A and B are shown apart, each in its own frame.
Chain A
Amino acid sequence: MSTKMLTYTNLDSPIHRLNGVTKLIFFVVWSVTAMITYDTRCLLGMLILGLLALKISRVAFRQYAFVLGFIAVFFLLNEIAVFLFSPMQGTELYGTRHDLVHLAGRYTLTWEQLFYQFNIALKYAVVIPMALLFLLTTDPSEFAASLNRVGASYKLAYSVSIALRYLPDIQQDYHNISFSAQARGIDMSRKEKLSRRLKNAVSILIPLILTSVDRIDRISAAMELRGFGRKGKRTWYKTRPFTGMDYTALAILSAIVVASFSLTFSDGSRFYNIFQ
């Protein structure tokens, strides 16, 4: 099928060479840090670092170009929604009011609102390069082993591995089922009335789900036949040893976290205020 998705490609860059565990920790800690801080200086700094890392990875732009469209639309809608619902949120947060232009009714654009919404955008943007890097440079095979290594149970780690393994199969099943349903006049697009759409969705979902339940039985039988779950742990074929590079990366991460938190909370607030 030709649906675009983000997939791993095997390149040789410093980022690709990092251990999956390192990248997983990096991504999670980075995201949490970006969630907590609302300090513009931190966010800008992290964004620049993130883009730098993306450049080092040498991942081709066309590999992720398609998601940028989705992200842009989502951004825009969200920014508009925030403004429509709460045009004075910025003023409330920063405690001052500098009007820029009066639009209509209760809608006045203030510098505070603009700055607040700029920070929201920044918060989302900071995570994107790291999310992309994680997805595009981590070998999915190594991923389960990494999860297990950072403390997730091996069973849970294997669930994730199974999800990645069977995603393409299920996608193909879904397309085949919906094609053959369409050929019998069963459609869930806008062409049909809503009530019909719902009914038709059920007609498409039932075969998908019943074959999936069947598939679960077959896979679990096959796994038991090969001794899955006999011991409390397991080893992994696809693990790589930690190298100096990994320790360096994690050291850089710690530095970023410490810097970010001390900067953010130095004045006792999550928000960086340029108005006072």
Chain B
Amino acid sequence: MRRPVIEFRDFSFRYKAQSEPTLHHITFSVYEGEKVLIVGPSGSGKSTLAHCINGLIPFFHEGEMTGSVMVGGRELLDLSMAELSDLVGTVLQDPDGQFVGLTVGEDIAFKLENDMVPRAEMVSRVEIAAAATGISELLEASPHELSGGQKQKTTLAGVLVGDAGILLFDEPLANLDPESGRTTVELIDRIHRETAKTVIIIEHRLEEMLHRDVDRILVVRDGRIAADLPAPELLCSGLLAETGLREPLYLTALKYAGCEIAPDMNPQQIGQLRLDACAEKLAAWYRANPAPSESGLAPPLLELRDVSFSYVTDRPALSGISLIIGQGEMVCIAGRNGAGKSTVSKLICGFYRPSAGTLLMNGRDIRADTIKERAQRIGYVMQNPNHMISKALLYDEVALGLRARGLPEAEIRERVHEALKVCGLYSFRSWPISALSYGQKKRVTIASILVLRPELMILDEPTAGQDFRHYNEMMEFLNELNRQGMTIVIITHDMYLMMEYAQRTIVFADGLKISDDTPSRVLSNLDLLKAANLKKTSLHELADKAGFQEPDEFISRFIAYDRRVRNR
């Protein structure tokens, strides 16, 4: 007998500060022990939906609601946030916000402490929960010693320890590198099977999530449930493209080869995919689409020779790094947390000084240049746009750097308008920044650097936390800048981004440069993937499945074809 643990009935919700409702007439149920994935683009209302399950709505975010939500058989409004915390355990998107303890052990114990569980019982329950997520050795570690994946395991253990019957994950993959993402998906799946808890996952990264089976997928679009289907049916429906979600890349490849995707092919997972008749079509497509030859080396713009650096003595953060960024290139830098990616960009910008080695810009040694002098040529865009924005109005924000340089207002105006046009923000020029979306704010920060007319731009994770549509817009925009001659360096672990846009990928591990090659070759070298916490792409697996000898060649042919299709 299936018992519903969550029931939405004709439910609508409007935030207090907004004029339009975010959710319209939502009706669906989740049954005990089910594993349900909720997908949708940014702004579709999927996070709002999650907040109605764990009580952040209406207890933390106020608003107006109609219809009903039942959690664990009781009306949402009759429960308190504390009672809900016994029914629903939430793993939030931002691990640093949820990780309030000074050590892993304390953080796992947080819920128990609040429930007045005696210490002796607490210790054993914490041990059990830590073992379940594989962090038993880390109980004494502080959050600053942990990677994103380990922090997430801690927050998950902190939810498991409370024994709530429903586990709710809000974009669990958003802050993780591909390998940690894969481990998370497997961990969620294992816990679901072992504990028989109800699992609800909010996420827009479909391909990664489908690495393990889910019972159903709900598609949220414009505050409404657009579909409620098992994965195979959804993937064959064409709904993903309509909603602005990215379909798994191996399916795109199969479609390029002219294959029809059907539910009985098991399209939801590359591992279970049945190629059958498609194998021949794919092979034919592979033969017919040779990749273009690689372009020659561009003249060097920035060069690092044997650069070393350490924050603390006797623990080098970077050792003996040599690399060249060519004029007009778009290069990606990848690597695990703490591998040295951010440190290298901070050395280039002059925030820190190297302990050994040389930095050359256009052949000139820039080691003695100050941050300000280097900023004339090198622009740095931080990952979090809120760390850069300090003005209320868009125009003032972009003008800030020029005003600091003391330029005449007329010239400032001209350059700001030009930068705003390039960034597609011109029509918003008199808007307050607080009215812009996250992706637009990100563009504002790029415009505020662009206006300084650097020759080289370094961007830290420009697409992190953005859905497919925003990812696409951002990358097409950067691509266009690159085409106009801007040299661009992107720090990222987004493998699609590397494949689709970069000419080269430089990989760091433990302060060393371990690779510098085309993305397709980097992404098909299993040792490199392991060292950089990346994973085998589904295209690689598809190539293996189809029996192609050179997966990197298949990947580059796919990328070349894909670029042609998209540029049409």
Contacts and interface: CB of A to CB of B under 8 A. Distances in A.
B and A form one assembly: yes
Interface of A: 1-2, 140-141, 161-162, 164-165, 168-169, 173, 176-177, 179-187, 200, 202-204, 206-207, 210-211, 214-215, 218-231, 233-239
A2 B173 CA distance: 31
B382 interface: yes
Contacts of B126: 237
B114 A228 contact: yes
B564 interface: no
B393 to A, nearest CB: 13
Looking at A202, A229, A235, the one whose CB has the most chain B CB atoms below 10 A away is: A235
Interface in B108-158: 109-119, 122-123, 126, 143-144, 158
A206 B100 contact: no
Interface centre among B105, B110, B158, B391 (most CB of A within 10 A): B110
A7 to B, nearest CB: 10
Contacts of A239: 119
Contacts of A224: 56, 59-60, 81-82, 85
Interface stretch (B257-265, B318-326, B398-406, B414-422): B398-406
A211 B441 CA distance: 14
A234 B114 contact: yes
Contact of A179 (B56, B97, B371, B405): B371
Interface string B296-329: 0000000000000001100000000000000000
B563 interface: no
Interface stretch (B177-185, B267-275, B372-380): B372-380
Interface stretch (B34-42, B88-96, B216-224, B505-513): B88-96
B60 A221 contact: yes
A231 B400 contact: no
B448 A184 contact: yes
Contacts of A161: 100, 102
Given A184-B448, A203-B390, A203-B400, A237 B114 contact: no
Contacts of B60: 220-221, 224
B448 A237 contact: no
A179 B346 contact: yes
A183 B106 contact: no
A206 B390 CA distance: 5
A184 to B, nearest CB: 4
B368 to A, nearest CB: 16
Given A234-B113, A234-B116, 10 more contacts: A140-B102, A165-B101, A177-B387, A184-B448, A218-B97, A224-B56, A227-B111, A228-B110, A235-B113, A238-B103
B380 A180 contact: yes
A165 B351 contact: no
A226 B375 contact: no
A228 B111 CA distance: 7
A187 B373 CA distance: 13
A227 B115 contact: yes
A225 to B, nearest CB: 5
B309 to A, nearest CB: 11
Contact of B115 (A202, A203, A231, A237): A231
Given A173-B387, A237-B106, A237-B109, A225 B119 contact: no
B335 interface: no
Q: Which of B54, B86, B114 has the most chain A CB atoms inside 10 A of its CB? A: B114
Contacts of B391: 203, 206
Contacts, number: 164
Contacts of B404: 184-186, 200
Given A183-B372, A211-B384, A236-B119, A229 B100 contact: no
B116 A207 contact: no
B408 to A, nearest CB: 16
A204 B97 contact: no
A243 to B, nearest CB: 16
A1 B144 CA distance: 12
Contacts of B358: none
Interface residues of B, number: 67
Contacts of A204: 390
B56 A225 contact: yes
A215 B97 contact: yes
23 contacts: A1-B311, A141-B102, A165-B100, A179-B371, A181-B388, A182-B372, A183-B380, A184-B448, A185-B405, A210-B386, A218-B97, A219-B97, A221-B56, A221-B92, A221-B97, A222-B98, A224-B60, A225-B55, A225-B81, A226-B158, A226-B159, A234-B113, A235-B113
Contacts of A186: 400-401, 404
Contacts of A184: 375, 400-401, 404, 448-449, 452
Contacts of A227: 81-82, 85-86, 111, 114-115, 162
A237 B108 CA distance: 9
A198 B444 CA distance: 24
Contacts of B346: 179
A186 B126 CA distance: 47
B387 A237 contact: no
B480 to A, nearest CB: 23
Contact of A211 (B119, B371, B372, B387): B387
A52 to B, nearest CB: 30
Contacts of B159: 226
Contact of B102 (A165, A180, A207, A231): A165
B389 interface: yes
Given A207-B390, A211-B387, A235 B371 contact: no
A211 B379 contact: no
Contact of A230 (B82, B103, B351, B380): B82
B388 to A, nearest CB: 6
A186 B119 CA distance: 51
A274 to B, nearest CB: 48
B331 interface: no
B199 interface: no
B349 interface: yes
A265 to B, nearest CB: 42
B106 A2 contact: no
A207 B389 contact: yes
A225 B54 contact: yes
Most buried by A among B54, B106, B115: B106
Contacts of A221: 56, 60, 92, 97
Contacts of A220: 60
Contact of A238 (B96, B98, B100, B106): B106
A235 B100 contact: no
Nearest to A209: B390
Contacts of B371: 179, 182-183
A186 B448 CA distance: 13
